[in-house]
Structure 1
Amino acid sequence: MLDQFAQYIESTVEFSRIWGPLIIFTLMAIESSLIPFPSEVVMIPAGIIIARHGDFWWSSPVGWGFAVAVGAGLAGSMAGAYFNYYLALWLGRPFLHKYGRYFFLSPRNLDRAEEIFREYGDITTFVCRLLPAIRQLISLPAGLAKMDFARFSFFTALGAGIWTVILTWIGYFLGRKFGDKSYRDLVFEGKDVLHDNMIWIVLALVIIVAVYVWIHQKIMGGAATRKPQPAETSE
């Protein structure tokens, strides 16, 4: 599947300068919604194609570069996340419990995502975008909790953007370093690189969450200290 996708997207962009980003956008939107679809099979091949076709940032012989690929991937991720957010916001928990199985969403997984969101709050919409398996689901409890849309957009874009850059960079790096290898070998090697370094991603997330919680507690503690005390009344 990985090799077929890589070959397909390359052959497509050779004929049209616009289809590559559109394919990336569409598949990342699917991946970020309720349909399970690994983003590694989208962004890693995109990075490989950029490495093999010239310019790094904006354009190349196929008409798009690193920044365009990341932008298309991020836009697709946000579209899928918004779909989940509004699905949960408008239709609610009963709908998801009843019909979620048609989207490969079990009540158990939904309850687990809600539990994580309730325990850690808004920051989970950032952290979970960088974790496989749960990254697609975390938008649902945010919608169920009626999370502020601006905050949801900010944290989701931050997490999805970092994840998209990581995957595209892995593909670009491998495409430059091992240009003679097949797409299949490079994509699978990219997945191995990602999995081998996942511990560092998780460690960075733990540090970020700890700093966020510490700052949040400081702010809340300071606000409580500055809160005026009610005046005592004499009898």
Structure 2
Amino acid sequence: MDWIHSILDALLRWVESLGYFGIVIGLAIEVIPSEIVLSYGGYLVSDAGGNQISFVGAVIFGTIGAVIQQWILYAIGRFGGRPIFEKYGKYIKIKPKHLDISERWFKQYGAGIVFTARFVPVMRQAISIPAGIAKMNFWLFTLLTLLASVPWSLLFVYIGWKLGDQWEKFNEQAAPYVQPAILIAIGLLIVYVLYKMLRKKGKSV
């Protein structure tokens, strides 16, 4: 649809006009998917005639924006609870079924899932909600979110930078990296769960 492309183009131009802060705001409110904002940020790095955005700067501010977005979701979960998302979640593409899954994951795997879920579409936003509702330690939540956001920002900024004018093909280029990242995250989750089980068993002896 032409009107959708027109709106997307206008939003990206707005991000470009604000430079680094455009990347932060674009990710914090995520009107458009983070992958698009980060890949476009990578394109801006490669655009010598545009704003002077460095690769490192785009990754840093992309990471900051991603963390701020999760802070917002965490805060709404902590102070507003699930009813807020059941009523307004559709506006940020979080459905009740996503909440059900994220709550089940959080209860089953604990705080470690906050890191792992960041590599799973939709769930990387949804998992912040049960973390907030459960009043998970804010600084641990921030640390795990930061650790997961850095490679995500790095990947898509790099792809956008390498593709240049062809940055819109970022999905094709990202696929070979995203799947292994998910598998690694799952592996880390398994190690984390085993660690918790062994620790719990040790305490009960």
Letter in 1 for 2:13: Y
For 2:153, the equivalent position in structure 1 comes to: 164
Q: Distance in 1 between matches of 2:62 and 2:121?
A: 16
Q: Distance in 1 between matches of 2:153 and 2:198?
A: 32
Contact 1:26 1:76 in 2 (8 A): yes
Compute the TM-score of the two structures, normalised by the length of structure 2.
0.84
Letter in 1 for 2:150: G
Q: In the alignment, does 2:118 pair up with 1:129?
A: yes
Q: In the alignment, does 2:9 pair up with 1:4?
A: yes
Map of 1:1-235 to 2, 5 A cutoff? 1=5, 4=9, 8=13, 12=17, 19-31=18-30, 37-53=32-48, 62-175=51-164, 183=165, 186-225=166-205
Cα separation, partners in 2 of 1:103 and 1:172, compared to 1, 3 Å: closer
Unaligned runs of 5+ in 2: none
> What is the CA deviation profile of residues 103-132 of structure 1, one whole-angstrom value per residue up to 9, with x for unaligned ones?
443322222221121122111111111221
With 213-222 and 89-98 compared, the bigger mean Cα shift is at 213-222
Cα separation, partners in 2 of 1:6 and 1:192, compared to 1, 3 Å: farther
Letter in 2 for 1:26: I
Compute the TM-score of the two structures, normalised by the length of structure 1.
0.74
The two structures, once aligned, show a CA RMSD in angstroms of: 2.6
1:10 Cα deviation from its structure 2 partner: 8.5
Q: Distance in 2 between matches of 1:86 and 1:80?
A: 10
1:158 Cα deviation from its structure 2 partner: 1.0
> What is the CA deviation profile of residues 129-172 of structure 1, one whole-angstrom value per residue up to 9, with x for unaligned ones?
12212211111110111111111111111111221111111112
Seq. identity, %: 29
Q: Distance in 1 between matches of 2:15 and 2:24?
A: 15
1:29 Cα deviation from its structure 2 partner: 0.3
- Report the number of matched residues: 200
Unaligned runs of 5+ in 1: 13-18, 55-60, 176-182, 226-235
